[in-house]
Amino acid sequence: MAEFSLDLNEDQLQLQKWVHDFAEKTIRPAAHEWDEREETPWPIIEEAARIGLYSFDFISQAFLDQSGLLLPIASEELAWGDAGIGLAILGSTLGLAGIAGNGTPEQLLEWGPQCFGTPDKIQLAAFCVSEADAGSDVSSLRTRAVYDEAKDEWVLNGTKTWITNGGIADLHVVVASVDSELGARGQASFVVPPGTPGIAQGQKFKKMGIRASHTAEVVLDDCRVPGHCLLGGKEKLDERLARAREGKRSSSQAAMKTFEASRPAVGAQALGIARAAFEYSLDYAKERKAFGRAIIENQGIAFKLANMKTRIDASRLLVWRASWMGRNGKEFTSGEGSMSKLYAGETAVYVTEEAIQILGGYGYVREYPVERWHRDSKIFTIFEGTSEIQRLIIARAVSGVHVK
């Protein structure tokens, strides 16, 4: 187990600088353009792949790092550059997390590299859980997976919605119900490999923020995948279903395992936006003069900045703690993963709104990045579990009461 330390070591500092440089030189200058275009920023993903940042190797190294801090550090820096482009680069990691959380080591080795492809042939991955009538309430998924024993194939049918990289991904990880009576405990995850017929993109959504990240429906129409695409394998699934039918508790719920692992890294992205807005508005408050003095000389402005910085630092502490706990097998007894995402997400919304206020009219127009940061921040109280759902998880964990 790694000791928890707030002093970053040489490797971590180097990585932070490497990702920061890429964010500063390549991502941030392109942020406005891709926000306006609302398209996947392929040239930037290609550049990230060329330097090794968009790759299975890099993400595996970050996942395996014993401190747990490499992924949140990289995520914060990418989102500091731009959260939409950052998510275009990090989106495949969610698909990978779905495989890592539920698959066998062999499945991870087979499918993990395919989530990213190579610099010459970039691939994307997506993690498909949400449906039109099942967002927070993951237990009521309607997508079905039926086993065709004669062919040793699973047949997937249903429509997923709000999927990051949905339909443009080469590899989709799909959570589906194999026994609807068991709710979330009757679900399993499947890899839909590149080139599989029966999977297609539905509607692409136009969004308020993170517009460089592609979000769309994914339609599964008699989509057949080989038996070995069931993550974790059939034997384990049958055992789990049998336990669930006997009413015994199971520790493995397909979607939840992935979200638990990914929440702190998502919190880190929110943190990156908040830091960007804080730095920008701090500089601005020192430069901007009103009534013959810099506006930061007014407590009304300086105290805003004090509050912003305090909440940003508190968010980072929560994110790093949860990341370290997750990597070192510590149980989240008080919903620490949820705390980190809840607090960082709400901090990003708060900080970016205060930043708009500090910039006045300049905060409200598209020539300046602050309004975009505010639009980008809002998603962090919605996806990967809304703020309400995070509070529910924390409340249940600390009270032992099944709060509804």
Ligand X SMILES: Cc1cc2nc3c(=O)[nH]c(=O)nc-3n(C[C@H](O)[C@H](O)[C@H](O)COP(=O)(O)OP(=O)(O)OC[C@H]3O[C@@H](n4cnc5c(N)ncnc54)[C@H](O)[C@@H]3O)c2cc1C
Which residues in this chain contact ligand X in the complex, by CB under 6 A?
94, 127-130, 135-137, 162-164, 207, 215, 379, 382-384, 386, 388-389, 392
**Distance between CA atoms of 81 and 22, rounded to whole angstroms?**
8
Judged by beta carbon, residue 67 or residue 75, the one nearer ligand X is 75
- Look at residues 77, 12, 11, 131 and name the one whose alpha carbon lies nearest to residue 273: 77
- Cβ partners under 8 Å of residue 269, min gap 6: 75, 76, 78, 79, 83, 86, 87, 90, 380
Q: Which of 76, 181, 384, 388 is catalytic?
A: 384
Residue sitting closest to ligand X (CB): 135
- Min dist CB 183 to ligand X, Å, is 14
Judged by beta carbon, residue 118 or residue 136, the one nearer ligand X is 136
Provide the token pair at 337. 């993963």
- Min dist CB 241 to ligand X, Å, is 22
- Min dist CB 384 to ligand X, Å, is 6
- Look at residues 56, 143, 104, 121 and name the one whose alpha carbon lies nearest to residue 229: 104
**Distance between CA atoms of 234 and 334, rounded to whole angstroms?**
33
Q: Does 149 qualify as catalytic in the annotation?
A: no
- Min dist CB 142 to ligand X, Å, is 13
- Cβ partners under 8 Å of residue 54, min gap 6: 45, 48, 89, 92, 116, 122
Burial track 44-67 (b if 16+ CB lie within 10 A, e otherwise): bbebbbeeebbbbebbbebbebeb
Q: CA dist 386 to 61, 114, 192, 269, 338, Å?
A: 29, 30, 27, 15, 10
Dihedral sign computed on CA atoms, order 53, 54, 56, 61: positive
- Min dist CB 389 to ligand X, Å, is 6
Rounded CA Rg of the chain: 21
Judged by beta carbon, residue 111 or residue 284, the one nearer ligand X is 111
Whether the Cβ atoms of residue 359 and residue 341 lie closer than 8 Å to each other: no
- Look at residues 316, 259, 326 and name the one whose alpha carbon lies nearest to residue 77: 316
**Distance between CA atoms of 232 and 142, rounded to whole angstroms?**
21
Judged by beta carbon, residue 24 or residue 137, the one nearer ligand X is 137
- Min dist CB 348 to ligand X, Å, is 14
Judged by beta carbon, residue 54 or residue 383, the one nearer ligand X is 383
Judged by beta carbon, residue 19 or residue 128, the one nearer ligand X is 128
**Distance between CA atoms of 357 and 355, rounded to whole angstroms?**
5
Catalytic residue IDs: 384
